[in-house]
Every structure is written in C-alpha cells, then in structure tokens.
Amino acid sequence: MHNPAHIAEQYLSAWNERDASARRAKVACAFTLDASYLDPMMRGDGHTGIDAMIGAAQGHFPGMRFVLDGTPDGHNDVVRFSWSLGVPGAKPVARGTDVATVSDDGRLVKVTGFLNQA
C-alpha cells in the first residue's frame, strides 16, 4: 500500500493548482490516464476530463482552497480521506470525503467523492 497521506496531498494539490499548465501536470502525476472521478455534482474521465472538471470547480469557488481534514487512511488498493474547502483563515463552505482506488504506481484510478457538508 502506498502512503495514503501522500496520495491525498498530491490529489488536493491538483485541485488547488490555479495555473492551467501546472494543474495538467499535477493531474497527470496524481491520476492514471484512464482515471475517473464522480461526486454528486460532477464527473470527469481521463486526464482531460478531470482537468476540465477541476478548472470548472475553481471557477465556481474563486480564492478557495482544499485542505485535508483529519488523517487519510487506506488498505490494499483503496484510500479514504476527508477535506474541507474554503478561503484560508475562514470557516469552510464545504466538507467531504473521497474514496479512491490506487494503481500499482500510486496514481488514482477511480475516485468517488461524498459531500459531508455543503
């Protein structure tokens, strides 16, 4: 099992990257080429779809950042971690938990997101 904290930090780093070129590179590092993402409000497939989805989410939440909420855990090829979204130093506007399948090389294959508070 790869380090769940490292995987979660790499994942959130992609979500927080505002520079489009740097974000695409972070998506490629965090996700397999055929990865998928699904939550109650959006979905994305492959690097292009996931990158576009993250860019759209950033447009809806300008100035906000994702941070880990608690300690990520995992077993076998699955990781689970919680996050919060908000303006740094202010009360979060959303909290959620993501569950992901991890490939042998440590990249995400499939992410399913849940909103704990919106």
Amino acid at 41: M
Burial of 27 (0-12, 13-18, 19+ CB in 10 A): buried
For residue range 68-88, what is the model confidence (pLDDT) as tens digits? Answer: 999 999 999 999 999 999 999
Q: Which residue has 């440590």 as its token pair?
A: 106
Task: Name the CATH topology of 4-117.
Answer: Nuclear Transport Factor 2; Chain: A, (3.10.450)
Taking 80 as the threshold, does the pLDDT of residue 118 lie above it? no
Instruction: Record the pTM.
Output: 0.94
Which two structure tokens, joined as six digits, stand for 18?
């505002």
pLDDT score for 117: 86
Model confidence at 6, in pLDDT bands (50, 70, 90)?
very high
Model confidence at 1, in pLDDT bands (50, 70, 90)?
low
Taking 70 as the threshold, does the pLDDT of residue 67 lie above it? yes
DSSP assignments along 29-46, one per residue: HHEEEEEEEE-SS-EEEH
pLDDT score for 9: 97
For residue range 11-56, what is the model confidence (pLDDT) as tens digits? Answer: 999 999 999 999 999 999 999 999 999 999 999 999 999 999 999 9
Which two structure tokens, joined as six digits, stand for 71?
């300690």
Q: What are the domain boundaries of the chain?
A: 4-117
